[in-house]
Amino acid sequence: MNLLVTGGAGFIGSNFIRYILNKYPDYKIINLDALKYSGNLENLKDVDKNPRYGFVKGDICDKKVVDFLAKKRPDAIINFSAMTHVDRSILEPEEFTKTDILGVQTLLEAARKYKIDLFIQISTDECYGSIEKGSFTEESTLSPTNPYSASKAGADLIALAYYKTFNVPVIITRSSNNFGPYQYPEKLIPLFITNLLEDKKIPLYGDGKHKRDWIYVLDNCEAIDYAIHYGKIGEIYNISGNTEKTNLEITAFILNYLKKDETYIEFVKDRPGHDRRYSLNSSKIKKLGWSPKYKFDDALEYTIEWYKNNQSWWKKIKSGEFLEYYKKQYSEI
Ligand code: DAU
């Protein structure tokens, strides 16, 4: 298969590219990425010279570059491109609407024009909003609560509209919170690990009892692989690791592993509109034969070790743009 992967220099996209090149010795991948703040070619240094991999710098909102690549008629377009961080979407929502909605529409138009056989839209459990008890199925109502999740929900609806109206062969995957190597250190797990490695405090929002359903990134990559090869066109697949944890539990795990105590926790003002709990029912994708393989504790320990052993990767990021960005506070809102 020839795949056009968009947003492949980000966290999940880069893990996916590596996973596919290793698993399928005859697959070829072109990676289109705008290399905005979290897209980083260092995430793919090890596959850079692979003759089955090629990189094009460009934005999914740029019709010219998207048209140029779609014209080559890849067997599938897999869209990971997105602005993904909730806190950023609260500070600069417009960027999220542009990339996450208009960018996806640009890709869908190209898929329509060149009759691409498969379009995978990588989405998120955040589209469903928060749930107190039970778990969301693919039939649950979309109820996003922040500019990021609203833009992802918008993209999903446009993708489904292109399927129903123009027969663009769309499949959507919605996964729960990913963690693993190469995750940008603005998200909970890499932020807390790297802060502690720098002997800094870790900012826990509100009471720290918000719950997320965690999945190791390679389990998500495998689930996407299942959606590509066995998924049904026009369907949505939830992907979860079935590992529900409060932020306090995640924090305790990382503190304990790094032999730090609770005095490193700094309880800070809560995120505006902070969703209390996410939970997914992923029995539909399990019917395709997939199930998560990685044990949460092992995968989190491996992830902590990865950040310990790859300090130059995240130190470069944290010393530059990152700190500038975080000078902005919610108090501005
Ligand atoms: O659920 C899937 C989603 O998971 C993805 O679609 C998003 O792209 C991804 O950012 C993530 O969203 P969250 O908001 O759940 O992830 P984040 O790592 O930002 O936060 C996880 C939890 O930790 C959340 O309850 C907020 C809290 N938190 C986060 C940060 C960055 C803190 O308490 N302190 C922090 O400094």
Each residue's pLDDT tens digit, 179-213: 999 999 999 999 999 999 999 999 999 999 999 99
Nearest CA to ligand 1 atom 10: 85
Long-range contacts of 187-195 (CB under 8 A, 24+ apart): 187/85, 188/212, 188/247, 188/250, 189/250, 189/254, 189/300, 189/303, 190/303, 190/307, 190/314, 192/250, 192/251, 192/254, 193/254, 193/258, 193/303, 193/304, 193/307, 194/307, 194/314, 194/318, 195/264
Residue 329: pLDDT over 70:
no
Report the alpha-carbon distance of residue 175 to residue 90 in Å, rounded. Answer: 21
Please state which of the four CATH numbers 3.30.499.10, 3.40.605.10, 3.40.50.720, 2.30.30.90 is assigned to the domain occupying 2-178+214-239. Answer: 3.40.50.720
Q: What kind and span of H or E run contains 273?
A: none
According to the model, what pLDDT value does residue 97 have?
97
- The C-alpha atoms of residue 37 and residue 206 are separated, in whole angstroms, by 27
Confidence grade of residue 319 (pLDDT, cut at 50, 70, 90): confident
Is the CB of residue 277 below 6 angstroms from any atom belonging to ligand 1? no
Integer Cα distance of 220 and 152 in angstroms: 18
Q: How far out from the chain centre does Cα 75 lie? A: 22
Residue 34, pLDDT > 60, answer yes
Mean pLDDT of the chain: 96
Q: Residue 331: is its pLDDT beyond 60?
A: no
Q: Is the CB of 220 under 6 A from ligand 1?
A: no
Whether the pLDDT of residue 321 is over 90: the answer is no
CA 256–ligand 1 middle distance (angstroms): 21
Q: Which atom of ligand 1 is nearest to the CA of 175?
A: 2
Asked whether 264 and 201 are in contact (CB, 8 A), the reply is yes
Residues of the chain with pLDDT > 70, as a percent, come to 96
Q: How far is CA 24 from CA 21, 28, 93, in A?
A: 6, 9, 38
Atom of ligand 1 nearest to the CA of 250: 23
Q: How far is CA 326 from CA 74, 94, 318, 329, in A?
A: 39, 18, 10, 7
Residue 185: per-residue pLDDT: 97
- Residues 6 or more apart in contact with residue 172 via CB below 8 angstroms: 120, 121, 123, 156, 159, 160, 235, 236, 237
210 lines ligand 1 (CB under 6 A): yes
CA of 214 to the centre of ligand 1 (A): 11
Does the pLDDT at position 323 exceed 70?
Answer: no
- Summarize the confidence of residues 12-39 as an average pLDDT: 97
Q: What is the pLDDT of residue 81?
A: 98
**Candidates 83, 205, 211: which one to mutate for ligand 1, based on the most atoms within 8 Å of Cβ?**
205
Indicate which residue's Cα is closest to atom 20 of ligand 1: 188
Kindly indicate the confidence band of residue 326, based on its pLDDT and cuts at 50, 70 and 90: low
Give the chain's count of helices (H) and strands (E): 13, 12
Closest ligand 1 atom to the C-alpha of 189? 18
Give the CA distances from residue 300 to residues 168, 179, 216, 296, in Å, rounded to whole numbers and listed in that order. Answer: 38, 8, 8, 6
Is the Cβ atom of 88 under 6 angstroms away from ligand 1? no
- pLDDT score of 330: 55
Residue of 87, 212, 220 with the most ligand 1 atoms within 8 Å of its CB, for mutation: 212
Could you tell me the end-to-end alpha-carbon distance of the chain, in angstroms, rounded to an integer?
A: 47
CA–centroid distance, residue 283 to ligand 1 (Å): 24
Phi, psi (deg, nearest 5) at residue 121: -105, 120
When pLDDT is cut at 50, 70 and 90, the band that residue 306 belongs to is very high
Burial class (CB in 10 A: 0-12, 13-18, 19+), 90: buried
What Å distances lie between residue 321 and 113, 172, 229, 307, CA to CA? 38, 32, 39, 19
What pTM does this model have? 0.96
Kindly state if the Cβ of 89 falls inside 6 Å of ligand 1.
no
User: How far is the CA of 40 from the CAs of 121, 198, 213, 243, 328, in angstroms?
Assistant: 21, 22, 26, 29, 23
Q: How would residue 320 be classed by pLDDT, with cut points 50, 70 and 90? A: confident
Q: What is the C-alpha to C-alpha distance for residues 126 and 123, in angstroms, rounded to an integer?
A: 9
Q: Is the pLDDT of residue 322 over 70?
A: no
Token readout for 154 is 């918008």
pLDDT reported for residue 8: 98
Type of residue found at 294: Y
Closest to 66 (Cα-Cα) out of 99, 35, 106: 106
| CA of residue 156 to ligand 1 center, whole Å | 20
pLDDT reading at 333 higher than 60? no
Residue 54 sits at φ, ψ, to 5 deg, of: -140, 150
Residue from 90, 188, 204 to probe ligand 1 pocket by mutation (most atoms less than 8 Å from CB): 188
For the chain, the domains span 2-178+214-239
**Cα(273) to centroid of ligand 1, in Å?**
12
